[in-house]
Amino acid sequence: MEGSSGKSILQFAPFQSSVDEGFWHRLSSLKLNKFGIDDSPIPITGFYAPCSHSQVSNHLTLLAESLPSDSSEESVVPEISRGNRNRCSVPGILYNTNTVERFHGLDKQGLLKAEAQKIWEDIHNGRALEDSSVLSRFLLISFADLKKWSFHYWFAFPALVLDPPATLVDLRPASQCFSLEEAESLSAAFNEWRNSSLTADVPFFLVQIDTNSHSTIKHLKDWETCQSADGHKLLFGFYDPCHLPNNPGWPLRNFLALICSRWDIKSVHFLCYRENRGFADLGLSLVGEALITVPQGWRDHPYVPNAVGWELNKGRKIPRGISLAKSMDPTRLAISAADLNLKLMRWRALPSLNLNSLSSLKCLLLGAGTLGCQVARTLMAWGVRRITLVDNGRVAMSNPLRQSLYTLDDCLNGGEFKATASVNSLKRIFPAVEARGVVMAIPMPGHPVPSQEEQTVLNDCRSLHDLIDSHDVVFLLTDTRESRWLPSLLCANTNKITITAALGFDSFLVMRHGAGPFSSSHDSKAEAANSLSADMSNLGLTDRDGGKRLGCYFCNDVVAPIDSTSNRTLDQQCTVTRPGLAPIASALAVELLVGILHHPHGIFAEGDVLNSSNSESSEQPLGILPHQIRGSLAQFSQMTLVGHSSDSCTACCSTVVSEYRKRGMEFILQAINHPTYLEDLTGLTELMKSASSFELDWDNGTDEDDDDCVDV
Amino acid sequence: MDALSWDGTLTSRDFLVSARAFAEKWKEFNSAFPPWTWVPCPPKQPPCHLPQLQQQQQQGYLSLEKTCLPGSSKKGHVASQEDVDEISLTEGEEELEPVDNATLVETNNSPQVCYYDFHIVYSDSYRVPVLYFHCYYIDGHPLGLDEIEKDLPACSAKVLLESKWTFITQEEHPYLNRPWYKLHPCGTSEWMKLLFLGDDSLAKNGVAVEQYLVSWLSVVGQVVGIRIPFEMLNNPKSCN
């Protein structure tokens, strides 16, 4: 070109960008807390250092401290300190748009030109001699999608274009250009320059080598004084971020523009300063000579040369993008923190903990009162993610104190449905929870329904049936005994893991129901959910107690329990309970579930009692698996009991379950409408006559309309 | 300190002493590597209605940034699934500027380099140092844990797999307030105690606080490929 045969065009390796995560974090925070929709340009600071690796170029880096500080930000990010040899500050400007359309619509040519003009002016007014970093001034455009935590961005490193381009006379490693003495003196001078906090971050300088081989490094503003001495070599040096052996890096471009327009030098000797392990590396550094023809018009000040410098993305002229959802999305952070907590427990204490079985488990909570709230929370703490809450009540003013998912806000305007408020609350606590609320009344025996409401009740029965069918575990946490009857029956029918918690004033009962009466022969669904094989279910049934199933909530009021002092129905007094009771009972209910899930026999596991001689269960990592836990706050005591199923149980005996299977909804309606029907069917009427010492309050249950009744 | 009764932990004051000693020693024996620097952090101000705690000790952490681990470079940057959907970015290339023949068009076959930032932060709860780290490609894209596990030297994967004493977890950096990876400290005091008890000279002379971080990093560093020169371990300095 231009007839300069044999001389090649001097080609510069483009600057490359690197953006630390911290930059985007601070930009997001500033956008949210300070800038709002103000999209005026923001001055920023980039950092670079000489290349320090023979294979890798240094990049212009943006860090959190590249942005102005955000006072509302909690983090303690150190402010920019001058004189850091590895962080030479470079001024830049950020255009952060409010929409992706604005981002794409920015006049990129115009923005680049505007920055180039600033460089051009700094060259002409001499500012570039005082603070040479302005020669590397850069431009960043971005769009921060704060909803998706993704960022679109594009850097430009404006370079004034020499036209015609500079040609290369010679370029070789610096080590080949100096005598031994010169090299030694030069290295020493460089190391001094780089180690002084006054000069370490000054990226452009003059290198003067005297005839006696003595080298000095000087500031650009001292150029005039360098002219007086005779016989020395003068090199224009700069921190070169580029590692390539045959090309200087990008900063030399504007340096050449300065050299030719200010000092009118046609043949420029330059030095690309590069390092290795913190010391000048003359093998990596380059020394070259370039010929410049001062372009037409450069002497007129109003003229601004063309500029180039938009950074390519993998060779293409497109912007870059980064998604930081992993480190910014609070939901994902909460999930990983919750997982970590459970994994720590597994690593440190419970290697057999099956976290997958917990996270995929579907739990149905009947009742979202004191017990329901607390059970839901404890389930989430164990890593259970799928929770359905059933309740037809609304949050009352007295509720938030005892029912841990509610606040006063939920009580206003007549009160939110508990099913809705509890789900919202669970999601606020842990956004990844898959919680569902169902507003529904549970049909109860002994509460006759008028014929016009029959259809509604039947629909409720079917809904409850479907809900139980579609869950793996059912918790009975309602406030009355009779509301537990239908779910107990449905669970016995489908052989679901069922856990009951009930409260008295200062005593509680927590128990798991045994398998249903036909569990071994008919139902395989529940077994599958419990990951038990058919063999295991048989094994469970033919246990050493002669095939006795564990009882359900209703069996135990009929079958004489082992400890007669505990033989009181606990939830009859629908009055008040000591506030500490519900959290204790709820916690035990969930722990009982976790025990069942980790027991090899699952729902069929025998009931262990404390100090049980059964060595097999004491070897279980979670300890014994009781059938019932009865506790009393009056004595601060707790005991484990076993009660087997009763043949005349109104909820789980084979007579009742097979009657339900035969007659379905008709049977349910009859039970609801005719108080004595169930007792007659199961022979309980007979039993009651013979066992007058037990007071059974089947149908003198509490008035369900009484709203002052404490939900438990 | 008597090595036998020592529980393997460190006070925050001792951490400062040990950190200073460690940074100096590192510079002395590892001059070829970038130095560990102490990053001071202003203590977080509690809300003004709470009483100020008396203890206004200097807070901060040791930092070694932009380290290239040996043998950790990759052949190609496999764009992770989460990269911003390319569609919105590639609405066609733009003709931004005139063709410039002074711009080098790079043939992009330089190796993809990963950088590591390491911070040694004192944990008040465990009373031991904790190694936090952050790993990113040269353009700033952070690596996920799965990518880090692939990138770490082969020996560290083995250490992680076999050891019961540590694991990598992601937690919020106590000073930067964004998630970093860390080696969980819950076993640290136990094995530090074993480490010191096994050393005859330490058993004789008592626990030298100055030596704590050197010994600690000689173990922890294996996981992330930081090597401690043998001389550093072998040369316990007496207290000044």
Partner-chain residue, chosen from A61, A109, A337, that has the shortest CB–CB distance to B96: A109
Neighbours of A539 (CB within 10 A): 15
Which among B83, B91, B186 is the nearest to A348, CB-wise? Answer: B186
Which tokens belong to A711? Answer: 């939900």
Q: What pLDDT, on the 0 to 100 scale, is given for residue A564?
A: 30
Contacts of B23 (CB under 8 A, 6+ apart): B35, B36, B37, B38, B62
Residue B223: its H or E element: helix B212-224
Residue of B38, B73, B88, B145 to mutate when probing chain A, most A C-beta within 10 A: B88
**Which helix (H) or strand (E) is A507 found in, with range?**
strand A507-512
Instruction: Say whether both A525 and A646 belong to one domain.
Output: yes
Give the residue numbers spanning the domain of A95.
Answer: 10-159
Residues of chain B positioned with their CB less than 8 A from the CB of A13: 104, 106
Q: Note whether residue A698 is domain-resident.
A: no
Using a CB-CB cut-off of 8 Å, the residues of chain A touching B186 are 344, 348
Which fold, B12-43+58-70+110-233? Yope Regulator; Chain: A, (3.30.1460)
Chain B contacts of A151, Cβ < 8 Å? 84
Cβ of A112 within 8 Å of Cβ of B175? The answer is no
Q: Are A552 and A679 within one domain? A: yes
Residue B178 is nearest to which of A104, A310, A327, comparing CB atoms?
Answer: A327
Count CA atoms closer than 13 A to A255's CA, side-chain side: 27
Overall average pLDDT of the A635-656 stretch = 87
pLDDT (tens digit per residue) in A408-465: 999 999 999 999 999 999 999 999 999 999 999 888 877 778 888 888 888 999 999 9
Would A368 be classed as within a structural domain? yes
Chain B contacts of A106, Cβ < 8 Å?
none
Amino acid type, B235: N
Poorest-pLDDT segment among A334-338, B17-21, B236-240: B236-240
Q: Is residue A709 part of a domain?
A: no
A9 and chain B in contact, CB less than 8 A: yes
Domain boundary among A159, A186, A203: A159
B110 CB neighbours in chain A (<8 A) are: 55-57
* Tens digit of each residue's pLDDT (9 = 90 or more) over B119-157: 999 999 899 999 999 999 988 999 888 888 877 777 676
Output the furthest CA–CA distance in chain A (Å, rounded): 127
**Which of the residues of A are catalytic?**
574
Q: If contacts are CB pairs under 8 Å, which of residues 68-127 in chain B contact chain A?
A: 68, 82-86, 88-91, 93-98, 100-106, 108, 110-111, 113
Suggest the residue from B84, B148, B172 to mutate for an interface test with chain A (most A CBs closer than 10 A): B84
**Full DSSP string of A38-66:** ----EEEEEEE----BTTB---EEE-GGG
Smallest Cβ distance to A340: which of B68, B95, B169? B169
Span A674-687, pLDDT tens digits: 767 777 787 766 66
Contact assignment for B175 to A56 by CB distance below 8 Å: no
How many angstroms separate the CA of residue A325 from the nearest CA in chain B? 8
Average pLDDT, chain A: 84
pLDDT digits (tens, 9 = 90+) for A254-304: 999 999 888 889 899 999 999 988 889 999 999 999 999 887 777 776 788
**A559 CB-contact burial (10 Å; exposed 0-12 / middle 13-18 / buried 19+):** middle
Tokens encoding A520 = 């071994």
Residue A475 reports pLDDT greater than 50 = yes
Last residue of a domain, one of A117, A140, A159: A159
Which of A 273-332 lie inside 8 A of B, CB atoms? 277-278, 306-310, 313-328
ipTM of the complex: 0.84
DSSP per-residue string spanning A177-204: TS-HHHHHHHHHHHHHHHHSTTTTT--E
A643 and A574: one domain? yes
Same domain, A579 and A679: yes
**CA A514, CA A498: separation in Å to the nearest integer?**
8
Chain A residues with CB under 8 Å of B113 CB are 55-56
Residues of chain B neighbouring A336 (CB-CB closer than 8 A)? 170, 179
Tell me if chain B has a CB within 8 Å of the CB of A401: no
Does residue A155 sit in the same domain as residue A214?
no
B200 touches chain A (CB under 8 A): no
Return the pLDDT at A264.
87
Range of weakest confidence among A42-56, A234-248, A595-609, B41-55:
B41-55
Residues A465 and A599 in one domain: yes
CB contact under 8 A, A56 and B96: no
Residue among A417, A422, A354 at smallest CA distance from A388: A422
The residue assigned the tokens 């059912």 is A474
A51/A89 same-domain check: yes
Whole-angstrom CA distances from A185 to A191, A209, A232 are 10, 9, 14
Whether the CB-CB separation of A346 and A355 falls below 8 Å is answered with: yes
A569 C-beta neighbours (distance < 10 Å), count: 18
Whether B144 has its CB under 8 Å from any CB of chain A: the answer is yes
Q: Return the active site residues of B.
A: 186
User: Which helix (H) or strand (E) element contains residue A238?
Assistant: strand A233-239
Beta carbons of B178 and A306 less than 8 Å apart: no
Residues A8-13 have a mean pLDDT of 93
Instruction: Tell me the per-residue pLDDT of B168-211, one tens digit each, with 9 for 90 and over.
Output: 888 889 998 888 999 888 888 888 888 877 766 655 666 678 88
pLDDT tens for A153-206 read: 999 999 999 988 999 999 999 999 999 999 999 999 999 999 888 998 999 999
Nearest chain B Cα distance for residue A465, angstroms: 42
pLDDT tens, A482-504? 888 899 999 999 999 999 999 88
Domain count, chain A: 3
Q: Which residues of A272-284 are buried (b: 16+ CB within 10 A; e: fewer)?
A: bbbbbebebbbeb
Given the structure tokens 């985007």, which residue do they identify? Answer: A24
The answer as to whether A420 is a domain residue is: yes
C-alpha to C-alpha distance for B112 and B139, rounded to whole angstroms: 10
For position A211, what pLDDT does the model report? Answer: 86
DSSP string, A640-705: EE--B--TT-TTTSHHHHHHHHHHTHHHHHHHHH-TTHHHHHHTHHHHHHH-TTS---SSSPPPTT
Closest residue, chain A, to B178 (C-alpha): A327
Q: How far is B232 from chain A (nearest CA, A)?
A: 19
pLDDT above 70 (res A398): yes
Q: Do B113 and A56 touch (CB under 8 A)?
A: yes
Q: Answer for the pair B116, B152: CB distance below 8 angstroms, yes or no.
A: no
Distance of residue A625 Cα from the nearest chain B Cα, in angstroms: 29
- Cβ contacts below 8 Å, chain A against chain B, sum to 162
Contact A130, A81 (CB under 8 A): no
Query: Chain B contacts of A57, Cβ < 8 Å?
Result: 110
Cβ–Cβ < 8 Å for A143, A31: no
Structure tokens at A9: 């065009």
Gap from A309 CA to chain B (nearest CA, Å) = 8
Same domain, A538 and A662: yes
d(CA A148, CA A409): 30
Q: Provide the pLDDT for residue A562.
A: 32
What would the mean pLDDT of A62-68 be, rounded to a whole number? 93
Omega within 30 of 0 (cis) for the link into A164: yes
Pairwise CB contact (< 8 Å): B82 & A325 = yes
Listed in sequence order, the residues at least 6 apart from A296 whose beta carbon sits closer than 8 Å to its beta carbon are: A163
Q: How far is A415 from A104, CA to CA, in rounded Å?
A: 49
> Which two structure tokens, joined as six digits, stand for A136?
């590397």
- pLDDT above 50: residue A577: yes
Element (H, E) at B38: strand B37-41
Q: What is the pTM of this model?
A: 0.78
Which positions in chain B touch A17 (Cβ < 8 Å)? 139-140
Q: Which residues contact A525 (CB under 8 A, 6 or more apart)?
A: A469, A494, A495
pLDDT at residue B164 tops 90: no
**Chain A, window 77-96: residues with a beta carbon less than 8 angstroms from a chain B beta carbon:** 77-78, 86
Q: Which residues of chain B have a CB within 8 Å of the CB of A61?
A: 140
Cβ pair B96:A320 closer than 8 A: no
Which residues contact residue A583 at a Cβ distance below 8 angstroms, ignoring those fewer than 6 apart? Answer: A374, A404
For position A260, which CATH number holds?
3.40.140.100
Q: What's residue A567's pLDDT? A: 38
Asked if residue A677 is part of any domain, the answer here is yes
Which of B85, B140, B170 is opposite residue A20, by nearest beta carbon?
Answer: B140
Mind telling me how many Å the CA of A9 is from chain B's nearest CA? 7
Average pLDDT over residues A234-246: 94
Inform me whether the C-beta atom of residue B47 falls under 8 Å from chain A C-beta atoms.
Answer: no
Does A9 contact B111 at a Cβ distance shorter than 8 Å?
no
- Do residue A145 and residue A203 come from a single domain? no
d(CA A325, CA A176): 50
Q: Is A341 on the interface with B (CB under 8 A)?
A: no
Report CB contact under 8 Å: B102, A306.
no
CATH of residue A495's domain is 3.40.50.720
**Which residues of chain A have a CB within 8 Å of the CB of B88?**
100, 152, 321
Beta-carbon separation of A347 and B167 below 8 A: yes
Round the average pLDDT of chain B to a whole number and report it.
76
Shortest alpha-carbon distance between residue A291 and chain B (Å): 13
Least confident of A527-531, A700-704, B137-141, B207-211: A700-704
Distance from C-alpha of A567 to C-alpha of A564, rounded to nearest angstrom: 5
